[in-house]
């Protein structure tokens, strides 16, 4: 049984301009000890998917489908039951630490909070644990820095502190949302190395628009476009044999492959294109692509693609 199995997940936001279909019928599984990368352009629904798993979307969101975690449907749990899972069993490392670190609370306190809540540690033990966690994420002088405030930490150190918070209760599943975004290349590589080390055991959904980083960390990669998955395969297969024209375009936009951008822009999630959602930008378009919405098809063992060229 998979640790996490997402079935037919939809997350729609009703807005004044119409319904934003941010996550549109996503199926995805994560096994124990597996690291799955979720990649795609900004605005394609990655963060919303992560928030849906954590049940952190605003109450007005229309959510459908199932999110099976260890055999339980997270969407059916009460808020009280969900609170016991958040942080303890499933933890999220959020994009953009400044918004998620509380500026008026000491870093150590923010790490200790969840271990006191979930592991029943007393104040002293929780503080010791916080020091240990800062050490684990390689923050020097951790016994001193544990008593500092977020503004005393550099960007890279804030990200490390977020990772320490995420890992403090030893969760079975980590959802890491772009933990390397906005960091300069040296710091980025340090964080990647750290994420690899600290998640050697346990499962992870690693959200990123950086394929290079995903390649370093993930066993499998799911490619998301306009709210749905369009390709899923082992990381090496995504690189060696990308099948979906969008995945190929995404790869070609990497600096190592010539920085060639995909033409056009991502579609509005309020007014999605008919047929294949990628057809207005696709170089292999055929008439049928304009009207027919393709299903995910397994083309090779473990390699799924949503494109009418295949099957
Ligand atoms: N609360 C909300 N209300 C309306 N639209 C939203 C809300 N949150 C996110 N969206 C929209 O959902 C889409 C997906 O957003 P997001 O998941 O943050 O993208 P990303 O892939 O960059 O993480 C975007 O178009 C975004 O504007
Ligand atoms: Mg995001």
The C-alpha angle 174, 231, 67, rounded to 5 degrees, equals 40
**Residues β-bridged to residue 7:** 66
Report how far ligand 2's centroid is from the alpha carbon of 47 (Å).
Answer: 4
Report how far ligand 1's centroid is from the alpha carbon of 20 (Å).
Answer: 8
Report how far ligand 1's centroid is from the alpha carbon of 48 (Å).
Answer: 6
Q: What is the reported pLDDT for 256?
A: 81
The position carrying tokens 């010791």 is: 128
Written as one string, the DSSP assignment of 181-240 is TT--HHHHHHHHHHHHHHTSSSEEEEEES-HHHHHHH-SEEEEEETTEEEEEEEHHHHHH
CB 164 within 8 A of CB 111: yes
Report how far ligand 2's centroid is from the alpha carbon of 251 (Å).
Answer: 19
First to last CA, the chain: 28
Q: What is the reported pLDDT for 176?
A: 94
**Ligand 1 atom at shortest distance from the alpha carbon of 95:** 23
Q: What is the reported pLDDT for 236?
A: 97
Residues in Cβ contact with 1 at an 8 Å cutoff, skipping those fewer than 6 apart: 70, 71
d(CA 14, CA 107): 36
3-class state of residue 82 by DSSP = helix
Which numbered ligand comes closest to the C-alpha of 272?
Answer: 1
> Computed from CA positions of residues 237, 264, 277, 267, in that sequence, does the dihedral angle turn out positive or negative?
positive
Phi-psi group of 14: left, alpha or beta (phi > 0 → left; psi -120 to 50 → alpha; rest → beta): beta
Q: Whose CA is nearest to atom 11 of ligand 1?
A: 22
CB 88 within 8 A of CB 70: no
Q: What is the reported pLDDT for 48?
A: 97
At 42, list the tokens: 């900004």
d(CA 192, CA 55): 27
Q: What is the reported pLDDT for 7?
A: 98
At 179, list the tokens: 């933990």
For ligand 1, say whether the CB of 203 is within 6 Å of any of its atoms.
Answer: no
Q: What is the reported pLDDT for 199?
A: 78
Q: Whose CA is nearest to atom 20 of ligand 1?
A: 43
For ligand 1, say whether the CB of 227 is within 6 Å of any of its atoms.
Answer: no
Report how far ligand 1's centroid is from the alpha carbon of 11 (Å).
Answer: 10
At 113, list the tokens: 């909070």
Q: What is the pLDDT along the chain (311 residues), one digit of tens a residue?
A: 799 999 999 999 999 999 999 999 999 999 999 999 999 999 999 999 999 999 999 999 999 999 999 999 999 999 999 999 998 899 999 877 777 889 999 999 999 998 998 889 999 999 999 999 999 888 999 999 999 999 999 988 998 899 899 888 889 999 999 988 877 888 888 888 888 887 777 899 999 988 888 999 999 999 999 999 999 999 999 999 999 999 999 999 888 888 889 999 999 999 999 999 999 999 999 999 999 999 999 999 999 999 999 87
For the chain, list the domains and their CATH numbers. Answer: 4-79+203-305 (3.40.50.300)
For ligand 1, say whether the CB of 15 is within 6 Å of any of its atoms.
Answer: yes
């Amino acid at each position: 049984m998979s640790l996490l199995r997402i079935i037919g997940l939809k997350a729609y936001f009703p807005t004044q301009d119409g319904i934003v279909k941010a996550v549109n019928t996503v199926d995805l599984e994560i096994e124990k000890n597996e690291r799955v990368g979720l990649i795609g352009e900004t605005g394609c629904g990655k963060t919303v998917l992560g928030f849906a798993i954590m049940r952190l979307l605003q109450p007005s969101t229309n959510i459908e489908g199932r999110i099976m975690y260890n055999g339980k449907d997270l969407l059916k749990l009460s808020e009280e039951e969900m609170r016991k899972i958040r942080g303890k069993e499933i933890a999220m490392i959020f994009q953009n630490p400044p918004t998620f670190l509380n500026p008026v609370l000491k870093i150590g306190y923010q790490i200790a909070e969840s271990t006191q809540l979930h592991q029943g540690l007393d104040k002293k033990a929780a503080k010791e644990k916080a020091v240990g966690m800062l050490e684990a994420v390689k923050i020097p002088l951790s016994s001193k820095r544990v008593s500092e405030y977020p503004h005393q930490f550099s960007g890279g150190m804030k990200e490390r502190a977020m990772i320490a918070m995420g890992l403090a209760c030893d969760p079975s599943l980590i959802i890491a949302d772009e933990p390397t975004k906005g960091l300069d290349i040296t710091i980025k590589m340090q964080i990647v190395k750290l994420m690899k080390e600290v998640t050697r055991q346990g499962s992870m959904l690693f959200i990123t628009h950086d394929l290079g980083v995903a390649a370093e960390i993930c066993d499998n990669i799911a490619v998301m476009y306009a709210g749905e998955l369009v390709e899923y395969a082992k990381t090496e297969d995504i690189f060696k044999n990308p099948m979906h024209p969008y995945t190929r375009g995404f790869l070609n936009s990497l600096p190592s492959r010539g920085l060639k951008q995909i033409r056009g822009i991502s579609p509005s999630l309020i007014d999605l294109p008919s047929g294949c959602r990628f057809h207005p930008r696709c170089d292999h378009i055929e008439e049928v692509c304009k009207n027919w919405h393709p299903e995910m098809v397994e083309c090779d063992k473990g390699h799924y693609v949503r494109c009418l060229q295949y099957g």
